[in-house]
A = this chain, B = another copy of it.
Amino acid sequence: MAAYMDRAQNMDEKFGLNRKVRLLGPLTLSNGAQFAPLEFAYESYGTLNEARDNAVLICHALTGDHYVASTHPLTGKPGWWTRMVGEGKPIDPAKYFILCINVLGSCMGSSGPASIDPGTDAPYGMEFPVITINDMVAAQAILLDHLGIETLAAIVGGSMGGMQALAWCTMFPHRVKSAVVIASAARHSAQNIAFHEVGRQAIMADPNWQSGGYYHGDARPSAGLAVARMAAHITYLSEAGLTEKFGRQLQDRESKSFGFDADFQVESYLRHQGISFVERFDANSYLYITRAMDYFDLAEPHGGNLAAAFHGTKTRFCFISFDTDWLYPTSESRRIVQALNAARANVSFVELPSAFGHDSFLLDNPDMNRIVAGFLEAQQ
């Protein structure tokens, strides 16, 4: 830990907002390679207490970022989880030192394919190593070492954030007192992989992608990335939710145009999702992070025995799934809970009703908030 501190080159004030840190590492990746240096962008809220035992790490999803409760610098929108994090919210900076770190491979400040490779002074592009969820977690652990945080009061994540939380609990079980895993899974299913592969192929089919080397010019593979986002976005919503929200309603017109404009509201909505996404996200990061998710399978190193991944765990677990989530359905949460039961872990599990599918964890859901607040308070 001290070594990291000594070698750290802080890029702005420690414990200021919009923090950036460059650590020399190196990090040994899942593919066996060494990666260095490690850049981190993160946000924090609240104060680390003297015992240094009130840190809560929030892990973000595929296209998320560290602006969990801060205004996003590109979109100007409020943080993505202000319903959960903030004064008077379940994860309250008055109680906790709350951290959210942009994941390795992303594009919002932490090392990713758009970062400058110091070896070449050019963006990594596809020379960036293929990483895993475990690599993201190992990198986060290095940053926590640097910050002098040995133990997390809690780790909390939805979707890919939940995968990181689970990976933390298997890689560094002694460092995590409790874990909240929402709308997540311990592995990517064939269908999950299939949807990601469609997105990757859409990006790679865009001539502007240029084998990932588009950074030097003005053109970006925006069309491909937008299609990838549109396909993914369908999986974030439920069929019932789409019907409730849009049905077959037409967009700003009284009858069908008999053309290929966005006649239906759902088309207009999806196009908007695609177009607005490309303004804030890097196509290569999308490739790398989806790949990391596809590679995720906690049971794989244990011959498919998921319980073995959690052998001897002392962490308290809380799982929440949503009944209309077909991306990471309740059955996936149940599978993990059963494995934790077999490992004699302390685990609670609730499936919540919601019309809105996977995205429910980002929406207003008082039950979810009550469960998370209650679970975190119970250990104090």
Contacts and interface: CB of A to CB of B under 8 A. Distances in A.
A130 interface: yes
Nearest to A126: B260
A20 interface: no
Contact of A31 (B194, B258, B264, B270): B258
A197 interface: yes
A27 to B, nearest CB: 15
Contact of A242 (B194, B239, B297): B194
Contacts of A231: 198, 231
Interface string A236-263: 0101001101111000000010111011
B245 A230 contact: no
Interface in A204-219: 204-207
A191 interface: yes
Interface in A157-215: 187-191, 193-195, 197-198, 200-202, 204-207
Interface of A is mostly: helix
Given A130-B259, A194-B266, A258-B130, A201 B189 contact: no
A191 B242 contact: yes
B242 A190 contact: yes
A129 interface: yes
Interface stretch (A71-79, A287-295, A315-323, A337-345): A287-295
A194 B193 CA distance: 20
A227 interface: yes
Contacts of A258: 30-31, 129-130
B287 A201 contact: no
A326 interface: yes
B195 A234 contact: yes
Pick from A187, A227, A295 the residue with the most CB of B within 10 Å.
A227
A193 B259 contact: no
Given A190-B266, A205-B227, A206-B205, A295 B197 contact: no
A351 interface: no
Interface of A: 30-31, 126, 129-130, 187-191, 193-195, 197-198, 200-202, 204-207, 223-224, 226-227, 230-231, 234, 237, 239, 242-243, 245-248, 256, 258-260, 262-264, 266-267, 270-271, 274, 287, 291, 294-295, 297, 300, 326, 329
Given A193-B267, A201-B230, 11 more contacts: A31-B258, A129-B258, A190-B242, A190-B246, A191-B234, A191-B242, A193-B266, A198-B230, A200-B260, A201-B270, A264-B294
